[in-house]
């Protein structure tokens, strides 16, 4: 009997080690986010009269459009470049913690849908570096998932999902997007 | 002799466990796809006369171009926004299983090459969610590999390769791309 | 005593195996790059008079701009499509090892910042395949990190960081970017 005991202990020890190893190996495949962040960004589109406050401008339009008014047919074909302030709450006048820089375009004639490619560029005491996003934005849905394709600095090699929701809008001139970022791969 | 047997059994068991662990750990580095999908998408470009059927429109052009005709020099500089139907076979009139939404532009004066950024947005009984793509498309080659940068929904955290081939085209007004998607990272 | 020895040997062997397994599992999470490459690419923007040499063209502009001159306010809103030669050293006339194909736009009124989406398309004896990039480029900073979102061919499933630095520029017509690529995920 005295011989059996060390072997069965060993067995248990090995089993434990292998479980730990397995869980370590598959850790980054968990569906629990390793980082969770919420930000707001604010877009004020140039309309010909608001040059001082505007944070974005139309830079592409279809044949039936122009560069100071969003086109008919749900703005299909309008391309907009933006440099928007990012805030921690939903107040446009809160101190910005970074800039959302990139472009979006409207891509459907029948309803509002957009496609976005942009970066969050952080330079605050809390966050340094950038997060990059791309994806389809079916803007009429309450929440829309786009893709976090990677990051730099504090967000080195990050990947995950950003859930957008339109927190507020005023006609065609202003909108505010809540961005709920869940990273599932963190280094 | 009776003592040796459990130990050598143990040995074998450990070896097996470690092999399994190793293979589990390196599984996502295999070159065998974890998901394989084939779709077709159909692009009908607006030419000034086909507003009803068009699924895409020119929204950017170089100084020597315009917004209803693709420019000379292999369309260099033309930017096109699209919302194209995705089908399971090569028939434009098959029931669409989703929409391909995004943009492409022609980027070489000497020959036809393009660059694409777009999403497949699925909303069928088979697939929910999106796949996002980016990459260079040397359109004259028989097959071209672009990059699957990530996905949402059913395609959460997916990465892989999409092999494009021009299945058909009619002048400048219509083309159909076969998209052979191989995902190598699946969650 | 003669019994203890094989068991403790076994212990050590197991421990070693598990360590190897663990390190294999977490290898791709090291901050040491698995691939390091340096390239230069050269952009000559079309200005109305250099059609023969130009490698890029303005294809989008804000309401206050046009397509042959970069706009005021730090070119905010100008969209440029490019097909630039890639060289191994900083000489524009060195034999190109590939083409940098994609687009960039200027996205801030107050200072020069850009956003880039492009691919390196290689077709040399050394490299076959492509690398895809996206990210914010605060062009006035000495070095800027953008994101390597993936690759094909030799760079299958690659991810990492590309550090850009402006190696040279001549007015608005020519610039040369040094691109220091560090891949942290290699298959």
Within 8 A of A63 by CB-CB distance, chain B residues are 46, 48, 57-58, 66-68
Find the CB nearest A67 among C31, C63, C105.
C63
Within 8 A of B3 by CB-CB distance, chain A residues are 3
Mean pLDDT of A39-65: 95
Q: Indicate the range of A104-108, C16-20, C58-62 predicted with least confidence.
A: C16-20
More confident residue, C9 or C150: C150
Within 8 A of C83 by CB-CB distance, chain B residues are 76, 107-109, 113
Mean pLDDT of B152-173: 94
For residue B9, the SS3 value is helix
**H helix intervals, C115-161:** none
Is residue A2 pLDDT above 60, yes or no? no
Q: Flag if B136 and C25 touch (Cβ within 8 Å).
A: no
Closest-CA residue of chain B to C67:
B63
Of C99, A14, C38, the residue nearest B18 (C-alpha): A14
Of C112, C122, C173, C177, the residue nearest C152 (C-alpha): C122
Distance from CA of A28 to the nearest CA of C (A): 10
**Res A123: pLDDT:** 83
The dihedral region occupied by A79, where left means phi > 0, alpha psi between -120 and 50, and beta the remainder, is beta
Is residue B181 pLDDT above 70, yes or no? yes
For residue B17, the SS3 value is helix
Is residue A27 pLDDT above 60, yes or no? no
Q: B32-81 pLDDT, tens per residue? A: 999 999 999 999 999 999 999 999 999 999 999 999 999 889 999 999 99
**Res A24: pLDDT:** 53
**pLDDT, chain C, mean:** 89
Distance from CA of B139 to the nearest CA of A (A): 22
Within 8 A of B14 by CB-CB distance, chain A residues are 14
Q: A116-170 pLDDT, tens per residue? A: 999 999 988 889 999 999 999 998 899 999 999 999 999 999 999 999 999 999 9
**Res C124: pLDDT:** 86
Q: Flag if C149 and B134 touch (Cβ within 8 Å).
A: yes
Q: Flag if C57 and B62 touch (Cβ within 8 Å).
A: yes
- Cα dist. C97→A141, B110, C57, C82, C182 in Å? 46, 17, 22, 16, 18
Q: Indicate the range of A8-12, A116-120, C89-93, C183-187 predicted with least confidence.
A: A8-12
Mean pLDDT of B8-22: 66
A74 reaches B (C-beta below 8 A): no
Q: Tell me which of B24, B77, B105, B133 to substitute to probe the interface with C (most C C-beta atoms closer than 10 Å).
A: B77
Spatial distance between the Cα atoms of A56 and C180, rounded to a whole number of angstroms: 31
**Res C1: pLDDT:** 46
**Res A1: pLDDT:** 46
**Res A171: pLDDT:** 87
Residues A144, A164: contact at Cβ < 8 Å?
yes
Is residue C14 pLDDT above 90, yes or no? no
* Percent share of chain B, pLDDT over 70: 84
C48 reaches B (C-beta below 8 A): yes
Distance from CA of B3 to the nearest CA of A (A): 9
Spatial distance between the Cα atoms of A26 and B136, rounded to a whole number of angstroms: 33
Q: C149-171 pLDDT, tens per residue? A: 999 999 999 999 999 999 999 98
**Res C171: pLDDT:** 87
**Res B14: pLDDT:** 67
Spatial distance between the Cα atoms of A149 and A147, rounded to a whole number of angstroms: 6
Q: Flag if C101 and B136 touch (Cβ within 8 Å).
A: yes
pLDDT level of residue C172 (50, 70, 90 thresholds): confident
Q: Flag if A136 and B132 touch (Cβ within 8 Å).
A: yes
For residue B86, the SS3 value is strand
**93-132 in chain C: CB under 8 A from chain B:** 99, 101-103, 117-119, 121, 129-130, 132
pLDDT level of residue C123 (50, 70, 90 thresholds): confident
Within 8 A of C146 by CB-CB distance, chain A residues are 152
Within 8 A of C121 by CB-CB distance, chain B residues are 136, 138
Q: C83-115 pLDDT, tens per residue? A: 999 999 999 999 999 999 999 999 999 999 999
**Res B6: pLDDT:** 63
* Percent share of chain A, pLDDT over 70: 85
Spatial distance between the Cα atoms of B134 and B152, rounded to a whole number of angstroms: 16
Spatial distance between the Cα atoms of C90 and C177, rounded to a whole number of angstroms: 9
For residue B148, the SS3 value is strand
In terms of C-beta density within 10 A (0-12 exposed, 13-18 middle, 19 or more buried), how is residue C23 classed?
exposed
For residue A26, the SS3 value is helix
Residue A25 parent element (H or E): helix A4-26
**Res B19: pLDDT:** 64
Within 8 A of C109 by CB-CB distance, chain A residues are 83
3-state SS track over C1-45: CCCHHHHHHHHHHHHHHHHHHHHHHHHHHCCCCCEEEEEEEEEEE
Buried b (16+ CB within 10 A) or exposed e, B18-51: beebbeebeebeeeeeebebebbbbbbbbbeeee
Q: Report ipTM (2 d.p.).
A: 0.83
């Amino acid at each position: 009997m005295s011989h059996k005991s060390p072997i069965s202990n060993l067995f248990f020890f090995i089993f434990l080690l292998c479980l730990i190893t397995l869980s370590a190996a598959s850790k980054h495949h968990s569906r629990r986010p390793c980082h969770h962040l919420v930000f707001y960004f604010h877009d004020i589109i140039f309309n010909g009269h608001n040059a001082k406050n505007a944070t974005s401008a139309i830079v592409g339009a279809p044949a039936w459009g122009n560069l100071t008014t969003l086109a008919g047919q749900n703005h299909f074909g309008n391309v907009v470049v933006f440099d928007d302030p990012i805030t921690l709450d939903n107040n446009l006048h809160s101190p910005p913690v970074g800039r959302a820089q990139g472009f979006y375009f409207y891509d459907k004639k029948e309803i509002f849908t957009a496609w976005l490619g942009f970066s969050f560029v952080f330079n605050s005491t809390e966050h340094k570096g950038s997060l990059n996003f791309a994806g389809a934005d079916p803007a009429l849905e309450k929440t829309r998932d786009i893709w976090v394709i990677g990051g730099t600095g504090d967000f080195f090699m990050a990947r995950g999902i950003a859930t957008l929701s339109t927190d507020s809008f005023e006609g065609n001139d202003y909108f505010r997007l809540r961005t709920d970022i869940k990273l599932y791969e963190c280094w």
